[in-house]
């Protein structure tokens, strides 16, 4: 995971969508929200979970690897940037390559948009919008040490496994306390 | 929508942004940073009162929000808080006074002079013909302390009517009455930071995750430190979902549950005998009463497992430090006061008071739910939480106001009772500020008849509410960001809202409106205020020596400290974050009062014809009567319409049209079928108006003490409906076009994905 990064803790999420609203306030894409907020196990639970860009480290940024226009760049700090507007052709390859379904396409503009860890904020020492406003700390921004100082029992993983494929991510996930594995199942058998 | 589905190459869940909610007026364009000014203030919505900055451009236009590291919320905001600023330049804003000469005529713009002269003439005419009490004033608890204080003074000094009350009557009055009976003071006993020290937290009838989202963090942080969380709620709410114990009681059975908890605590010898002996009175009566509430009987009444009752009682009884908090779920009942007293009995019997991590509180709903009830817009109260029927209190306030005590009216009647009097012709004219009874009061057809019967009705608001739409005169007021003033949050902490912009058009703050009317009634000298600061100084002086003593609180002190907890009697007093540290109540003998409480059936128990229990409440994207939030694109997009929440055992599928019928009305909603609600209970959120207003069906039975309506339970039945009832778009001033998202999207009557709204892939 990145040194200073986001930690997603679905156990704390209340599904209020403050993250979705705050994402629209970002100066780099005002009016557009990059966050996916899903209600899971609908009809049996009020559980919910936000999905932000996981900033994949290994394999590095599948969205960038499949980009035919070399529009998706990864900065030295590990942040997978959104597609450069002057290069992006809106082909949606990145959407299909992303294990987490993160990038969005504006079909009119033929441009990709995605979470860039609020680079305008994080590059000057602020937290991303979503982690700033999240009422419950379900999206936390900081270092692992800072997280554990506040939540001593947190179990953290930055490995997501889809079938045979293991992905090491720049953003980490908090598992329920007592969770025994060091990886998170991605959903495939 | 169909176009989106014609793009099969794209996986579901990625959006082309076409359906992103409408943003702020003037679009999403933002000026470059150097031109931006940040104004520190707080949110206008709930009782948490989160700090925030409003972003203002070089032309003085509010165009955005920025996080503020305030003590209360540490930069956090809920979805309503993030978009609150979009009200400021909203195209639906009322910009000029509106008037109609006769009912049925359309509203037309008029000058302030014409509107104010008409109001003053009607007040004089009605009071001359029918007596002073024939004209009523109705306030609201989203008003600042300054405005709430002025409402009471305006009614009693300018109109000299006893009929003044406010919409807090729908909110915290049960807790307020119980606090006064048990503690002699009406305020949450602890700051929320105390939650972090608690070992056990008991949360009853409070859907914190949706109604006070930012307060959730206090509960989660307490759990990070090892606290156990117990949630009492008929629905599995977002905070109940992961709670250590969720007790899903049948609506209307809270008093039985809390008596049962105390029963087990007595049986197990977990009563704090020393505390009870040294600091309380009335224990024997309570002990004898709870003896007849064994867990088996409680389980039967509440519809829960008796083992849950035992488990919660032992958790609470064995904790060194425990806190109990509740909200409307416990309070909106004909035995709302008794329910609160039953919780307080538990707190007192175990001595959980006056320490970090040990305490009790109600979570006030509206932004100024606490302050709004302290300074005299409540029918029976004078500023400083004084009683209007107490001769000493009357004399003090009359002297501070410079009026003859004999001229100060006596106690009036409550909000819902005023509606009865309006229908009966005892109240012939009303002026309302900051309320929307035609959505928010129970049994709406009777409320409509009450307003219909009035000879004259004036209403001040910044959007044309369902209530303002029917008024004879509509006065355009300022939103919170266009005025300054203080509010008192759910902890009893006084914070300050700052002015970020000028009101648009001819809109004016409510205090200016009251001053103009008072002048026309010949009472101008009591209202010669040029600014909220002058009103606050008047409030401070009037509250001096009262229970809610604000005398030592100044604007500067609030800005320096991040909020001051009352009582704060002198300028050098630091305020009082935690009450009862000396284990003394506010009664002269210093003792806390037990009150024995028997559980009673709700006003309308389920029966053969109406076998289910209807309960109403809020959803996270909307606030109260929805007059503000139903106009903000992002919130409408998240939760466009109401639904009925039913258990799968009732045999419906999500999206089915389901007709809900009570003795007072019926409406057809899309079903949201979920395991997270009791099989004998159905839920409807109440933020919408017209045919789908939940309050068409609720019962207007009142608690005999607090006069709070029983919004949280009445008898109903559900049946398969034909067509889902359409939404009524929010009213707009004459000559304006509705926002595209305000009208229901054609053919889209789907329920939300979950009670919190539609997921981002479901829009």
pLDDT digits (tens, 9 = 90+) for A158-170: 999 999 999 999 9
Q: Please report whether residue B589 resides in a domain.
A: no
Statement to judge: residues B223 and B257 lie in one domain: yes
Is the CB of B638 less than 8 angstroms away from the CB of A20? Answer: yes
Statement to judge: residues B74 and B104 lie in one domain: no
Statement to judge: residues B356 and B391 lie in one domain: no
Statement to judge: residues B161 and B189 lie in one domain: no
**Token pair for B461:** 């608001």
* CB A14 within 8 Å of CB B211: no
Q: Please report whether residue B236 resides in a domain.
A: yes
Is the CB of A46 less than 8 angstroms away from the CB of B65? Answer: no
- What pLDDT score does A61 carry? 97
ipTM of the complex: 0.96
For the cut 60, the answer to whether the pLDDT of residue B217 exceeds it is yes
Burial of B40 (0-12, 13-18, 19+ CB in 10 A): middle
For the cut 80, the answer to whether the pLDDT of residue B190 exceeds it is yes
Statement to judge: residues B144 and B180 lie in one domain: no
Strands in B222-310 per DSSP E: 228-232, 245-247, 280-281
- Average of pLDDT values for B714-738? 95
**Token pair for B237:** 């709410």
Mean of all residue pLDDT scores within chain A: 94
C-alpha distances out from residue B424 to A186, B25, B421, B451, Å: 65, 44, 5, 11
Q: Hey, is the C-beta of B65 within 8 angstroms of any chain A C-beta?
A: yes
Is the CB of A43 less than 8 angstroms away from the CB of B220? Answer: no
Which has the minimum average pLDDT: A104-108, B260-264, B592-596? A104-108
Statement to judge: residues B546 and B413 lie in one domain: yes
Q: Hey, is the C-beta of B237 within 8 angstroms of any chain A C-beta?
A: yes
Q: Hey, is the C-beta of A134 within 8 angstroms of any chain B C-beta?
A: yes
Which has the minimum average pLDDT: A60-64, B3-7, B391-395, B585-589? B3-7
Work out the pLDDT band at B364, boundaries 50, 70, 90: very high
Sign of CA dihedral B655, B658, B660, B665: positive
pLDDT digits (tens, 9 = 90+) for B443-479: 999 999 999 999 999 999 999 999 999 999 999 999 9
Buried-exposed string B639-663: b where 16+ CB fall within 10 A, e elsewhere: bbbbbbbbbeebebebebbbbbbbe
Supply the DSSP string of chain A, one letter for each residue.
Answer: --SSEEEE-GGG-----HHHHHHTT-TTSTT----EEEE-SBTTB--EEEE----EEETB-HHHHT-TT----B-TTS-BPPPPTTT-----HHHHH-TT---EEETTTTEEE-----HHHHTTTPPPHHHHH-TTSSEEEE-HHHHHHH-TT-EEEEEEEETTEEEEEEEEEEEPTT---SSEE-S--
- What pLDDT score does B762 carry? 86
β-pair partners for B235 = B677
The rounded distance, in Å, linking the Cα atoms of B606 and A167 is 55
Q: Testing the interface with A: which of B16, B70, B213 to mutate, by most A Cβ within 10 A?
A: B213
Residue B40's Cα: distance from chain center in Å?
24
Pairing outcome for strands B200-204 and B681-685: unpaired
Pure H helices in B139-215: 145-153, 173-183, 208-211
β-pair partners for B53 = B40, B66
Statement to judge: residues B422 and B550 lie in one domain: yes
Q: Please report whether residue B14 resides in a domain.
A: no
Q: Name the more confident of B10 and B528.
A: B528
Q: Which domain holds residue B252?
A: 173-362
- What pLDDT score does B7 carry? 42
- What pLDDT score does B12 carry? 47
Give residues 34 to 73 of A whose Cβ lies within 8 Å of B.
35-39, 42-48
Among candidate residues B36, B53, B87, the one where a domain is terminated: B87
Q: Please report whether residue B15 resides in a domain.
A: no
Q: Which of B17, B82, B654 sits opposite A133 (nearest CB)?
A: B82
For the cut 70, the answer to whether the pLDDT of residue B100 exceeds it is yes
For the cut 80, the answer to whether the pLDDT of residue B294 exceeds it is yes
Domain count, chain B: 4
C-alpha distances out from residue B478 to A64, B167, B318, B367, B504, Å: 50, 19, 51, 16, 8
Q: Please report whether residue B548 resides in a domain.
A: yes
For the cut 80, the answer to whether the pLDDT of residue B16 exceeds it is no
- Average of pLDDT values for B338-347? 98
Contacts of B68 in chain A (CB under 8 A): none
Is the CB of B654 less than 8 angstroms away from the CB of A39? Answer: no
The rounded distance, in Å, linking the Cα atoms of B541 and B550 is 8
Statement to judge: residues B384 and B323 lie in one domain: no
pLDDT digits (tens, 9 = 90+) for B166-184: 999 998 899 999 999 999 9
For the cut 90, the answer to whether the pLDDT of residue B25 exceeds it is no
Q: Please report whether residue B580 resides in a domain.
A: no
For the cut 80, the answer to whether the pLDDT of residue B26 exceeds it is no
- What pLDDT score does A189 carry? 57
- Name the minimum distance, in Å, from the CA of A66 to any CA of chain B: 16
Statement to judge: residues B53 and B116 lie in one domain: no
Q: Please report whether residue B735 resides in a domain.
A: yes
Contacts of B67 in chain A (CB under 8 A): 132-133
- What pLDDT score does B172 carry? 87
For the cut 90, the answer to whether the pLDDT of residue B545 exceeds it is yes
- What pLDDT score does B133 carry? 98
Q: Please report whether residue B602 resides in a domain.
A: no
Q: Which residue of B has its CA nearest to A136?
A: B217
For the cut 60, the answer to whether the pLDDT of residue A113 exceeds it is yes
Q: To 5 degrees, how large is the angle CA B235–CA A38–CA A31? A: 115
Statement to judge: residues B343 and B201 lie in one domain: yes
pLDDT digits (tens, 9 = 90+) for A61-78: 999 999 999 999 999 999
- Average of pLDDT values for B89-95? 96
CATH architecture of A5-185: 2-Layer Sandwich (3.30)
Among candidate residues B499, B532, B565, the one where a domain is terminated: B565
Sign of CA dihedral B602, B608, B610, B612: positive
The rounded distance, in Å, linking the Cα atoms of B232 and B213 is 17
pLDDT digits (tens, 9 = 90+) for B36-49: 899 999 999 999 99
How many CB atoms lie under 10 A from the CB of residue B390? 12
Mean of all residue pLDDT scores within chain B: 95
Q: Reduce the secondary structure of B298-358 to three states and give it as a string.
A: HHHHHCCCHHHHHHHHHHHHHCCCEEEEECHHHHCCCCHHHHHHHHHHHHHHCCCCCECCE
pLDDT digits (tens, 9 = 90+) for B649-705: 999 999 999 999 999 999 999 999 999 999 999 999 999 999 999 999 999 999 999
Work out the pLDDT band at B13, boundaries 50, 70, 90: very low
Pure H helices in B546-595: 555-561
Q: To 5 degrees, how large is the angle CA A79–CA A84–CA A86? A: 165
Question: Among residues of chain B, what percentage have pLDDT more than 70?
Answer: 96
Q: Hey, is the C-beta of A96 within 8 angstroms of any chain B C-beta?
A: yes
Statement to judge: residues B323 and B180 lie in one domain: yes
- Cβ pairs A/B, distance under 8 A: 171
The torsion of the CA quartet B315, B317, B323, B325, rounded to 10 degrees, works out to 80
Q: Which of B16, B30, B79 sits opposite A16 (nearest CB)?
A: B79
Statement to judge: residues B165 and B198 lie in one domain: no
Nearest CA to A140 out of B224, B483, B308, B58 is that of: B224
The values of phi and psi at residue B535, to 5°, are -65, -40
């Amino acid at each position: 995971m990145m040194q200073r990064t986001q930690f997603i803790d679905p156990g704390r999420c209340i599904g209020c969508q403050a993250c979705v609203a705050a994402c629209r306030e970002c100066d780099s894409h005002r009016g557009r929200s990059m966050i996916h907020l899903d209600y899971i196990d609908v009809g049996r639970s009020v559980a919910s979970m936000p999905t932000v860009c996981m900033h994949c480290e290994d394999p590095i940024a599948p969205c960038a690897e499949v980009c035919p226009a070399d529009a998706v760049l990864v900065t030295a700090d590990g942040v997978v940037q959104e597609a450069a507007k002057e290069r992006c052709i809106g082909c949606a390859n990145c959407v299909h390559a992303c294990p987490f379904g993160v990038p969005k396409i504006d079909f009119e503009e033929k441009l990709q948009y995605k979470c860039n860890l609020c680079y305008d904020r994080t590059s000057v020492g602020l937290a991303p919008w979503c982690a700033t406003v999240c009422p419950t700390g379900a999206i936390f921004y900081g270092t692992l040490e800072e997280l554990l100082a506040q939540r001593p029992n947190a179990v953290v993983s930055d490995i997501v496994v889809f079938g045979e494929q293991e992905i090491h991510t720049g953003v980490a996930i908090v598992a329920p306390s007592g969770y025994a594995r060091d990886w998170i199942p991605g959903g495939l058998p | 929508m169909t176009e989106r589905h014609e793009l099969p190459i794209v996986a579901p869940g990625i959006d082309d942004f076409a359906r992103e909610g409408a943003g702020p007026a003037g679009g999403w364009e933002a000026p470059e940073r150097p031109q931006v000014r940040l104004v520190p203030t707080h949110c206008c919505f709930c009782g948490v009162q989160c700090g925030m900055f409003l972003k203002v451009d070089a032309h003085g236009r509010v165009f955005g929000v920025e996080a503020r590291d305030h003590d209360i919320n540490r930069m956090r905001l809920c979805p309503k808080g993030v978009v609150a600023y979009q009200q400021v330049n909203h195209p639906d804003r009322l910009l000029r006074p509106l008037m109609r000469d006769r009912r049925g005529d359309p509203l037309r713009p008029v000058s302030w002079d014409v509107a104010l002269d008409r109001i003053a003439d009607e007040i004089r005419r009605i009071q001359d013909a029918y007596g002073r009490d024939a004209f009523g004033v109705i306030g609201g608890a989203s008003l600042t302390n300054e405005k709430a204080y002025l409402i009471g003074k305006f009614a009693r000094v300018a109109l000299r009517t006893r009929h003044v009350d406010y919409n807090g009557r729908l909110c915290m009055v049960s807790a307020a009455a119980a606090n006064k009976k048990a503690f002699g003071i009406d305020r949450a006993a602890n700051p929320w930071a105390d939650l972090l020290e608690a070992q056990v937290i008991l949360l009853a009838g409070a859907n914190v995750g949706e109604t006070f989202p930012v307060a959730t963090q206090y509960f989660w942080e307490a759990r990070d430190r090892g606290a156990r969380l117990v949630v009492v709620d008929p629905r599995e709410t977002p905070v109940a979902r992961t709670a250590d114990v969720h007790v899903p009681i049948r609506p209307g059975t809270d008093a039985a549950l809390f008596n049962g908890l105390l029963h087990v605590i007595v049986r197990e010898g977990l009563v704090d005998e020393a505390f009870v002996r040294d600091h309380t009175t009335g224990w024997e009566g309570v002990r004898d009463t709870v003896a007849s509430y064994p867990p088996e009987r409680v389980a039967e009444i509440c519809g829960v497992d008796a083992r849950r009752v035992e488990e919660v009682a032992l958790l609470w009884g064995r904790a060194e430090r425990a806190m109990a908090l509740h909200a409307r779920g416990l309070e909106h009942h004909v035995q709302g006061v008794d329910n609160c007293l039953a919780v307080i009995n538990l707190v007192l019997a175990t001595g959980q008071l006056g320490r970090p991590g040990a305490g009790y509180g109600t979570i006030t709903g509206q932004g100024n739910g606490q302050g709004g009830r302290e300074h005299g817009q409540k029918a029976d109260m004078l500023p400083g939480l004084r009683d209007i029927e107490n001769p000493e209190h009357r004399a003090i306030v009359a002297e501070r106001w410079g009026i003859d005590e004999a001229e100060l009216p006596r106690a009036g009647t409550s909000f819902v009772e005023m509606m009865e009097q309006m229908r009966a012709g005892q109240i012939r004219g009303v002026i309302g500020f900051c309320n929307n009874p035609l959505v928010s009061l129970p049994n709406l057809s009777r409320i409509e008849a009450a307003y219909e019967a009035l000879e004259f009705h004036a209403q001040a608001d910044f959007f044309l509410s369902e209530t303002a739409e029917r008024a004879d005169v509509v006065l355009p007021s300022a939103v919170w960001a266009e005025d300054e003033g203080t509010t008192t949050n759910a902890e009893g902490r006084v914070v300050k809202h700052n002015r970020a912009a000028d009101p648009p058009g001819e809109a004016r703050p409510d205090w200016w409106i009251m001053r103009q009317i008072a002048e026309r009634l010949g009472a101008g000298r009591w209202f010669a205020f040029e600014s909220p600061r002058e009103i606050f100084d008047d409030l401070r002086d009037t509250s001096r020596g009262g229970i809610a003593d604000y005398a030592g609180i100044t604007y500067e002190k609030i800005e320096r400290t991040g909020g001051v907890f009352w009582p704060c009697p002198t300028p050098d007093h630091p305020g009082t974050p935690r009450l009862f540290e000396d284990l003394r109540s506010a009664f002269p003998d210093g003792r806390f009062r037990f009150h024995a409480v028997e559980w009673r059936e709700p006003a309308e128990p389920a029966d053969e014809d109406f076998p289910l229990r209807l309960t109403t409440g809020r959803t996270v994207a909307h606030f109260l009567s929805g007059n503000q939030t139903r106009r903000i694109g992002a919130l409408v997009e998240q939760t466009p319409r109401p639904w009925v929440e039913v258990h799968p055992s009732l045999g419906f599928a999500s999206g089915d049209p389901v007709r809900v019928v009570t003795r007072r009305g019926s409406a057809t909603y899309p079903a949201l079928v979920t395991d997270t609600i009791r099989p004998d209970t159905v839920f409807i959120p109440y933020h919408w108006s017209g045919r789908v207003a939940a309050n068409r069906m609720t019962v207007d039975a009142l608690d005999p003490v607090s006069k709070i309506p029983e919004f949280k339970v009445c008898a109903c039945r559900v049946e398969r409906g034909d067509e889902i009832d359409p939404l009524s778009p929010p009213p707009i001033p004459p000559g304006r076009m509705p926002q595209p998202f305000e009208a229901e999207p054609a053919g889209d009557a789907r329920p939300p994905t979950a009670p919190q709204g539609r997921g981002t892939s479901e829009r």
